[in-house]
Amino acid sequence: MYSIGVRKIIHVDMDAFFAAVEQRNHPEYRGKPVVVGGSPDSRGVVSTCSYEARKFGIHSAMPTKQAYKLCPQAIFVHDHHFSDYKEVSEQIREIFYDYTDLVEPLSLDEAFLDVTVNRKNNPSATRIAEEIRARIKEKTQLTASAGVSYNKFIAKIASDVHKPDGITVVPPAEAADFVAQLPIRKFWGVGEVTEKKMRSLGIHTGADLRKFELYQLIEWFGKSGPYFYNAARGIDDRPVENSRVRKSIGREITLARDIVDRIEVERILREIAGDIEKTMARYQALASTVTLKVKFHDFQCVTRSISLDHPIHRATDMVSFVDGLVTKTEVGKKPLRLLGISLSGLSGGGFDEYDPQPELPFDS
Ligand code: TTP
Ligand code: MG
């Protein structure tokens, strides 16, 4: 379906997230309009509501008072149960990381994945998205929707098309038509203000937006101009930014045959350290803890660590500390089946300036 060089991007978004968690946790809420957010005196706004409540016209950010008028019989959940939402959020992220490290969460309930290259060597992004949705349902008893395309902009909009519990695939050949028919509000980055402005300029759909030259869009929308110009043409080159903090960098080798010989063990450890040094250089990282992991033929697994006063990144330093750790194990006496080194307490590179807030575009 995709030609070589085209990226495969998935956007996954949970359905009616907070409300769905409440319905899962309270079976008596299921199949009913549920509104989350606002206080018992009807002040505040709706965080989200179940699809049953959406039929009454209730939606996120609506004053709870108005929601009450639209559907007085709805179940109003005033307390957010953030620890429950967070737990689900972590569960779904674990599933994503099973496929790739290129995961960019946008909020608790949604993320982009770049699966062009993936751990399962699965060439079909659509099949991966279906697998992920099935695994999310199995693990959390909640449904997610997915959009599959060749860039973030289209994948994000696509995940919304067949909500709830749906998937939408937009291959490159269909992108132009898909974008042309989109109401302007659906464009990622178009909030209320921009929508008003666009409508006043006679821009109501993607097709309308496409009629304008780049300089014109820059004049009207400033630095968002080029984004809109490209988006109207189905172009969005922004990469999926992996925002997971790496806590360690390491490598382990399962040996082809069990070994006892210390010299051979040292040779393998030097090889592992050499690989780790390359990764450390790529991240420009330093580490203040070195851990040795060994697994013996009887599957007994032992780890030994040392904390350092001065952080290291070179293979020779790793090897000298690991040699010390080896003497604290039965290596050389019992046959070994696995050897590994891992470095933690990372600093330098991006490790100590991690910003967990992904940048959201414009005014949405
Ligand atoms: P969304 O994914 O925007 O909404 P949703 O998951 O409730 O519904 P759906 O995706 O099926 O349309 O937001 C995820 C959660 O973020 C949502 O459950 C509640 C919270 N949220 C707010 O607290 N305030 C808001 O204005 C929005 C939009 C979401
Ligand atoms: Mg959602």
Task: Give me the residue spans of the domains in the chain.
Answer: 1-169, 181-231, 248-348
> What are phi and psi for residue 349, nearest 5 degrees?
50, -135
Find how far residue 92's CA is from the centre of its chain. Answer: 9
* Residue bearing the CA closest to ligand 1, atom 15: 17
Whether 80 shows a pLDDT value over 60: the answer reads: yes
Both tokens of 323, joined, read: 């040699």
- CATH: 3.30.70.270, 3.40.50.620, 3.40.718.10, 3.40.1280.10. Which one for 1-169? 3.30.70.270
How many Cβ atoms are within 10 Å of 77's Cβ, its own excluded? 21
Residue among 188, 344, 332 nearest 259 (CA): 332
Q: What is the pLDDT of residues 235-252, one digit of tens each?
A: 999 999 887 666 788 998
> Fold match between 1-169 and 181-231?
no
Q: Which ligand is nearest to the CA of 38?
A: 1
Q: Span 248-348: which CATH code?
A: 3.30.1490.100
Domain 181-231 class in CATH:
mainly alpha
Distances 230 to 103, 235, 249, 356 between C-alpha atoms, Å: 23, 5, 38, 27
Q: Which atom in ligand 1 lies closest to the alpha carbon of residue 37?
A: 23
Rounded-to-integer distance, Cα 13 and Cα 60, Å: 15
Query: If pLDDT is split at 50, 70 and 90, which confidence band does 324 have?
Result: very high
Q: How far is CA 311 from CA 67, 279, 281, 357, in A?
A: 56, 15, 14, 28
Mutate to test the pocket of ligand 1, among 13, 46, 60, 92 (most ligand atoms within 8 A of CB): 60
Residue 47 beta carbon below 6 angstroms from any ligand 1 atom: yes
- Nearest CA, atom 23, ligand 1: 47
Measured in Å, residue 161 CA sits from the centre of ligand 2 at: 12
pLDDT at 5 over 60: yes
Tens-digit pLDDT profile for residues 136-170: 999 999 999 999 999 999 999 999 999 999 999 99
CA of 20 to the centre of ligand 2 (A): 10
64-71's contacts with Cβ under 8 Å and 24+ in sequence apart are: 64/35, 64/37, 64/38, 64/39, 65/38, 67/35, 67/38, 68/42, 71/33, 71/35
Reference 288, options 266, 316, 318; nearest CA is 318
CB of residue 15 inside a 6 A radius of ligand 1: yes
Ligand nearest to the Cα of 20, by number = 1
pLDDT, mean over the chain: 91
Which sequence positions are flagged as catalytic?
110
Indicate if ligand 1 lies below 6 Å from the C-beta of 89.
no
The DSSP secondary-structure symbol of 358 reads P
